[in-house]
């Protein structure tokens, strides 16, 4: 197989590659978004502890004012976190999308403040005769934007009266600031304005960008916010816990891909997961009213109403709403229904579920069931499924993982072990059981919060400590004991039935991680030996920062020249290597450069380890052997003709350091009579156009005899990105001697300071052939340049 035939991408493969590349880009984007959520979630887990413990101390302090003050002090350590969630999400998304740039975070803070202030300027409060605010006018009052209905969508954020956009406003600010930072942080100005160049320019342009963003939210969010509230209210009325079942299955199914954060965020942190402000308004409008009682004083009533109406953002979503309830300094709510004289008293979480239709915890608490007993039982099944002589080894591996799962809710080692060995166990059984756990906890009326994960530590903090608020935490250990035997017997049977290599079975003594799962997906086909040799020769993926190519060379930027192994690179078929400057390297590989670079880029991040079938001797790609594999090359002679009228010279006279050294093969270069105007370049042989570079400056033709000819217009013309060249050809079509390959704009090329504008014609596979009858000097179009004869 020849070089061009071997490495030419056919149309179907190209289309498939585009799909894979787009899919990879989407996964990368979603992965970044998922990572962005983790920063605020991590701090929220700690803030939630302060809120819960502080509220429990303050509520249970009785007449002890000192203890109550201490509880409030602890509580206030966590309260600012939940009050500033939009700003935290803005900063988190900037960190995720700008490689943790501090200047970008600074710009995001400024941008969010401006975003909020601009809204405040255009939100007009409407007051009654007693100067009480009864609504807000947001731009205009028509089209379903009556001020009274918008009062629930306006509140306070970082000191400004703004729309309550939940985390969506912060995320939008973060994404826009990230884009502006990546685009402008290296911008340069005239020396007179240089002080404002670079990173200092980013906050300035971010301020301007907040004008259209603020107006966009002011225009559309009143409708969007209402829509989310309607959706959240409807979701709260779904019977039999079906919404929790669906949530549980999808959330667990996305765990292997790290995309579960993207899925649950709207339900945890926005109106879609419940809207207490809307629910309170509707409840009061129905004629219901709060009533004082021993555990629910007038001060408590005012605290509840003011907290919900003035800080609506803290009362949306399953997670933030639960934390808001947990921060209240009372445990029960007393009330009287419209038309009834009976005073009812409910635990505050039960009140929200029964009266507001907001079943807090329904998208959180299911995890406690399978993390406390289900997965540990699966680990015990793996131990018992191992041969008796290996059970101690299996226990030593699995016991710490099972205990970690029980204590903290970290499930990765266990889940990814059986996911890799049997996807059915994960998606067919485990994800279903997780969904069922969410449903059961919802139906049974539990209301347990969570921030980090569903381990015993969270269970104590968010289930047992606030149990007086109506968490009904005991339901976890009513349901979980049934999960233990189910998980044990299903796992034990399936491991035996499918003969799975769980720890202690076969040669396996390890647990697997998410990294193993991702590597398995990436490496269903190992990196091919040529790509592996090139990347290892360049010091590995981490040492390469830029991947480019021209017609004949890989043009890469590297971090450290000292890590480069030229012998390994040459074993991949490279004919020469050039180091340019302090971090740029050019690898001369001939006409396969573009395809090889595509294969390298398609493999970025994949494991470079070899399997048992690969060896260093195989790393040398067939590039160096391809010319010997086509017997046609060895049996036939060939004549090569001029590409246009001009002057022909031996390739050695080009003096470019690559072609002139015959690194790509032997041949000639032809100069046109004049380097100006539009001129055509013609095919020097007949054959199939197997290589046509996107930059249109180089064309690879393989003849019927198997001869591979590269027609390369100019030197370093790859940098023009196709400018100055036109062609009507498509890769794979047949060409004949004298067919037009390209039209060249020499007026444009003359302005580009190129080393040469001559057209180079070289034979790239002529190990057992030689050039004879070389024509030098003036040549006409289609006049013979040289013959190729077998040695």
- What's the mean pLDDT in 304-317? 85
Band of pLDDT at residue 625, cut at 50, 70 and 90? very low
Angle between helices 11-59 and 593-602 (to 10 degrees): 30
Lowest mean pLDDT among 134-143, 400-409, 602-611, 749-758: 602-611
Give the sheet arrangement for strand 740-745, strand by strand.
678-682, 740-745, 725-726
Which of the four CATH numbers 3.40.50.300, 3.40.50.720, 2.70.70.10, 3.90.1150.10 does domain 630-790 have? 2.70.70.10
Q: Which residues contact 421 (CB under 8 A, 6 or more apart)?
A: 500, 501, 502, 512
671/68: higher pLDDT: 671
pLDDT at 551: 57
Query: pLDDT for 104-118, tens place per residue?
Result: 899 999 999 999 999
Q: What is the mean pLDDT of residues 187-191?
A: 79
Q: Is 393 exposed, middle or buried (0-12, 13-18, 19+ CB in 10 A)?
A: middle
Give the pLDDT score at 30.
63
What does the pLDDT read at residue 381?
Answer: 93
Q: Which residue has the higher pLDDT, 626 or 334?
A: 334
Residue 597: is its pLDDT beyond 50? yes
Is the per-residue pLDDT at 133 higher than 70?
yes
Residue pLDDT, tens place only, 462-506: 899 899 999 999 999 999 999 999 999 999 999 988 888 888 776
pLDDT at 615 exceeding the cut of 80: no
Q: How is the chain split into domains, by residue range?
A: 84-236, 270-355, 369-435+474-516, 523-624, 630-790
Q: Is residue 519 scored above 50 in pLDDT? A: yes
State mean pLDDT over 196-213.
Answer: 90
Confidence of residue 431 (pLDDT cuts 50, 70, 90): very high
Percentage of the chain exceeding pLDDT 90 = 24
Q: Which of 257-261, 414-418, 602-606 has the lowest mean pLDDT?
A: 257-261
pLDDT in the model for residue 518:
57
Q: In the chain, count of helices (H) and strands (E)?
A: 29, 25
* C-alpha span between 788 and 117 (Å, rounded): 77
Is 434 among the catalytic positions?
no
H/E segment holding residue 641: strand 638-641
Q: Assess if CATH 3.40.50.150 describes domain 523-624.
A: no
pLDDT at 240: 85
- Please report which confidence band the pLDDT of residue 198 belongs to, taking 50, 70 and 90 as the band edges: confident
Query: Pick the catalytic residue: 534, 550, 588, 685?
Result: 550
**Residue 46: in which H helix or E strand, if any?**
helix 11-59
Q: What is the mean pLDDT of residues 34-46?
A: 74
pLDDT confidence bin for 510, thresholds 50/70/90: low
pLDDT at 260: 74
Q: What is the pLDDT of residue 618?
A: 43
Reported confidence tier of residue 22, pLDDT bands at 50, 70, 90: low
Q: Is the pLDDT of residue 388 over 90?
A: no
pLDDT greater than 80 at residue 254: yes
Mean pLDDT computed over every residue of the chain: 82
Rounded CA-CA distance 243/257 in Å is 22
pLDDT for 108: 92
The pLDDT tens digits of the residues spanning 743-785 come to 999 999 888 888 888 888 888 776 667 888 888 889 998 888 9
Torsion angles phi and psi, residue 754, rounded to 5: -80, 150
């Amino acid at each position: 197989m020849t070089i061009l035939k071997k490495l030419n991408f056919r149309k179907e493969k190209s289309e498939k590659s585009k799909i894979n590349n787009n899919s990879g880009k989407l996964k990368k984007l979603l992965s970044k978004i998922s990572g962005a959520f983790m920063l605020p979630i991590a701090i929220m887990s700690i803030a939630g502890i302060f809120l819960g413990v502080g509220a429990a101390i303050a509520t249970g302090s009785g007449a002890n004012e000192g203890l109550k003050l201490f509880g409030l002090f602890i509580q206030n350590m966590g309260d600012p976190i939940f009050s500033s969630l939009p700003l935290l999400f803005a900063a988190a998304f900037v960190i995720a999308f700008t490689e943790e740039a501090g200047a970008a975070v600074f710009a995001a803070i400024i941008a969010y403040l401006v975003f909020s202030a601009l809204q405040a300027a255009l939100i007009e409060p409407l007051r009654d005769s007693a100067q009480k605010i009864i609504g807000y006018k947001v731009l205009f009052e028509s089209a379903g934007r009556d001020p009274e209905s918008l009062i629930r969508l306006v509140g306070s954020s970082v000191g400004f009266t703004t729309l309550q956009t939940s985390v969506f406003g912060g995320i939008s600010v973060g994404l826009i600031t990230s884009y502006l930072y990546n685009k402008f942080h290296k911008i340069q100005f005239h020396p007179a304005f240089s002080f404002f160049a670079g990173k200092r320019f980013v906050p300035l342009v971010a301020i301007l960008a907040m004008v259209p963003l603020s107006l966009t939210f002011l225009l559309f969010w009143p409708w969007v916010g209402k829509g989310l509230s309607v959706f959240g209210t409807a979701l709260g009325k779904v019977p039999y816990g079906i919404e929790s079942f669906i949530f549980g299955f999808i959330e667990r199914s996305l765990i292997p891909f790290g995309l579960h954060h993207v899925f649950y965020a709207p339900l945890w942190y926005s109106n879609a997961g419940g809207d207490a402000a809307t629910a309170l308004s509707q409840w009061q409008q129905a004629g219901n009213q709060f009533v004082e009682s021993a555990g629910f004083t007038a001060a408590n009533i005012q605290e509840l109403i003011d907290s919900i109406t003035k800080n609506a953002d803290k009362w949306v979503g399953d997670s933030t709403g639960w934390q808001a309830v947990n921060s209240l300094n009372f445990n029960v709510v007393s009330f009287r229904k419209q038309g009834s004289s009976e005073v009812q008293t409910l635990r505050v979480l039960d009140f929200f579920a029964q009266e507001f239709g907001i079943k807090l915890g329904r998208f959180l608490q299911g995890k406690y069931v399978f993390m406390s007993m289900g997965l540990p039982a699966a680990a015990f099944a793996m131990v018992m499924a191992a041969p008796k002589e290996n059970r101690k080894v299996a226990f030593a591996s699995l016991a710490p993982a099972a205990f970690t799962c029980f204590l903290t809710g970290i499930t990765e080692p266990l889940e990814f072990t059986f996911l890799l060995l049997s996807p059915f166990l994960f998606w067919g059984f485990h994800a279903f059981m997780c969904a069922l756990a969410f449903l059961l906890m919802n139906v049974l009326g539990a209301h347990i919060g969570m921030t980090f994960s569903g381990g015993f530590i969270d269970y104590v903090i968010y289930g047992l400590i606030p149990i007086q608020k109506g968490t009904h935490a005991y339901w976890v250990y009513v349901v979980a004991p049934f999960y233990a035997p189910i998980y044990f017997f299903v796992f034990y049977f399936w491991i035996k039935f499918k003969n799975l290599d769980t720890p202690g079975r076969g040669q396996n003594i390890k647990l697997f991680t998410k990294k193993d799962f991702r590597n398995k997906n990436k490496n269903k086909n190992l990196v091919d030996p040529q790509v592996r040799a090139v990347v290892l020769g360049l010091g590995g993926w981490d040492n390469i920062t830029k991947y480019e190519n021209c017609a004949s060379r890989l043009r890469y930027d590297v971090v450290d020249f000292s890590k480069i192994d030229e012998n390994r690179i040459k074993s991949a078929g490279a004919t020469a290597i050039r180091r340019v400057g302090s971090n740029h390297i050019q690898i001369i590989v001939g006409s396969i450069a573009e395809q090889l670079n595509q294969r390298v880029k398609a493999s970025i991040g994949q494991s470079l380890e070899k399997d048992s079938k690969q060896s260093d001797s195989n790393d040398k790609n067939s590039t160096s052997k391809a010319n010997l594999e086509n017997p046609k090359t060895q049996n036939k002679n060939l004549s090569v003709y001029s590409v246009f009228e001009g002057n022909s010279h031996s390739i050695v006279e080009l003096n470019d350091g690559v072609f002139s050294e015959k690194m790509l093969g032997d041949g000639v270069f032809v100069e046109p009579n004049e380097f100006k105007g539009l001129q055509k370049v013609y095919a020097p042989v007949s054959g199939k156009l197997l290589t046509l570079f996107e930059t249109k400056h180089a064309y690879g033709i393989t003849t019927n005899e198997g001869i591979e000819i590269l027609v390369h217009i100019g030197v370093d013309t790859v940098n023009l990105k196709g400018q100055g060249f036109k062609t009507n050809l498509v890769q794979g079509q047949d060409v004949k001697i004298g067919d037009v390959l390209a039209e060249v704009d020499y007026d444009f090329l003359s302005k580009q300071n190129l080393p040469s504008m001559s057209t180079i014609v070289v034979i790239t596979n002529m190990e057992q052939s030689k050039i004879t009858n070389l024509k030098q000097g003036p040549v006409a179009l289609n006049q013979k340049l040289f013959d190729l004869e077998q040695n």
